[in-house]
Amino acid sequence: MDLDNFLLNVIKQGASDIHFKVGSPPVLRIDGDLVVAKGAPLKPRDTASLTFNFLNRSSMKNFRSLTEIDTTYSIKGKARFRVNIYRQQERFSIAMRYIPYFIPTIEYLGIPQVAKKFAMEKRGFVLVTGATGTGKTTTLAAIMDHINKNRRSYVITIEDPIEFVHMDNLSVVNQREVGVDTPSFLVALKSAMREDPDVLLIGEMRDAETIETCLRAASTGHLVFSTFHTTDATETISGMINYFEPHQQPRIRNQLAANLIGVISQRLIKKRKGKGPGRVLAAEVMVVTSTIKSCVLDPGKSNQIPKFIAQGKTEYDMQTFDQAIMKLHKDGMISKEEALANSTSPADFQRALEFGEDL
């Protein structure tokens, strides 16, 4: 296989992910669906040979004992990929995620404009959440690019691995890769506190100590961005708090209420026929107002957050998923079937469609 030509060809087909597994031809993910590429099933020597394309000299020395590794792969001037190599049934499998060379803008991605307000804050904590494959990293890259082009800041990112590469513009950007430049998110984050950053991006929060350190960084005058694998703002707040022991949770609630600026939660929905290939972003946006703060502080009020998000649409640029999906449907971007399938409350959504009600 000519790997570079193969990868460039499947990108043209719209593939976001490529999977190599013994016993199957390469498998592509296009618009969220799995598509089997033409070709013969891969043999063990095929995936082992492909693995060598992605290893540096240090990794090659440990090839026989390799169980999993995260890295990146570039086709100069054309494309970059995030690569995960892992063993299954004593054979190598490879998962690749396409990373465009250009950094897409907030407008291009359809990210709500309130993200620009988050980007220009002096301090606080902003989260981008969603399931795997919903574009969290791309959204953060667009926000970092907006910062880079519009304010003078010293930015430190901690990523695993580095995907989008930022060149200095108005800001100075240092990007650190876990496993290459630092042993862990937590070690790099603690070190960053002594490196004079204005803005910190932590690719992912994986444990309670990293969450608490992010909150501490926000409380000491830094603007902190990160991701979390939760579906919406309500689940994000409860999910973060539940990382901690019961006796620690009131303190974490206070820190969240004091430092959280906003949460952008994402879903990707297939475009309707005639609107081109690909998927379109639907985003819930929560801006932390005094009312939202009271819901964060009081666990008994957390179930009221969606109601206050819906009510804050005009004044604070907030929106629920269903409000975002309704707009996409009214704009002709997605079909009624996709809108209902992706809505949070299908019955309420259907009624709103039938009677022209607001959500």
CATH number at residue 301: 3.40.50.300
Cis amide linkage into residue 161, ω under 30° from 0? yes
- Shared-domain flag, residues 95 and 112: no
- Shared-domain flag, residues 69 and 119: no
Q: Tell me: the pLDDT tens digits for 260-285?
A: 999 999 999 999 988 877 899 999 99
Burial 260-276 (b: 16+ CB within 10 A, else e): bbbbbbbbbbbbbeeee
Q: Tell me: the pLDDT tens digits for 191-238?
A: 999 999 999 999 999 899 999 999 999 999 999 999 999 999 999 999
Give me the CATH number covering residue 51: 3.30.450.90
- Shared-domain flag, residues 173 and 264: yes
- Shared-domain flag, residues 143 and 226: yes
Report the distance separating Cα 270 and Cα 344, nearest Å: 16
- Shared-domain flag, residues 60 and 111: no
Total of domains in the chain: 2
- Shared-domain flag, residues 181 and 323: yes
- Shared-domain flag, residues 34 and 128: no
- Shared-domain flag, residues 317 and 205: yes
Last residue of a domain, one of 50, 81, 99: 99
Residue 297, Cβ density class (10 Å: 0-12 exposed, 13-18 middle, ≥19 buried): middle
Q: Tell me: the pLDDT tens digits for 167-193?
A: 999 999 999 999 889 999 999 999 999
Predicted confidence at residue 1, as pLDDT, reads 73
First to last CA, the chain: 52
10-residue mean pLDDT profile of the chain (359 residues): values are 92 94 96 92 94 74 74 88 91 93 93 98 97 94 98 96 93 94 93 95 94 96 96 96 96 97 97 87 98 96 96 96 96 95 94 87
- Shared-domain flag, residues 148 and 283: yes
The amino acid present at 14, given as its one-letter code, is G
The amino acid present at 241, given as its one-letter code, is I
HSE on the CB side for 92, CA within 13 Å?
24
Model pTM score = 0.88
Last residue of a domain, one of 99, 131, 159: 99
Last residue of a domain, one of 99, 120, 147: 99
Range of the domain at 187: 106-355
- Shared-domain flag, residues 19 and 130: no
- Shared-domain flag, residues 250 and 143: yes
- Shared-domain flag, residues 170 and 76: no
Q: Where does the chain have alpha helices with state H?
A: 3-12, 44-52, 57-61, 106-109, 114-119, 136-150, 185-192, 208-219, 233-241, 249-259, 290-297, 305-311, 313-316, 321-330, 336-342, 346-355
The amino acid present at 115, given as its one-letter code, is A
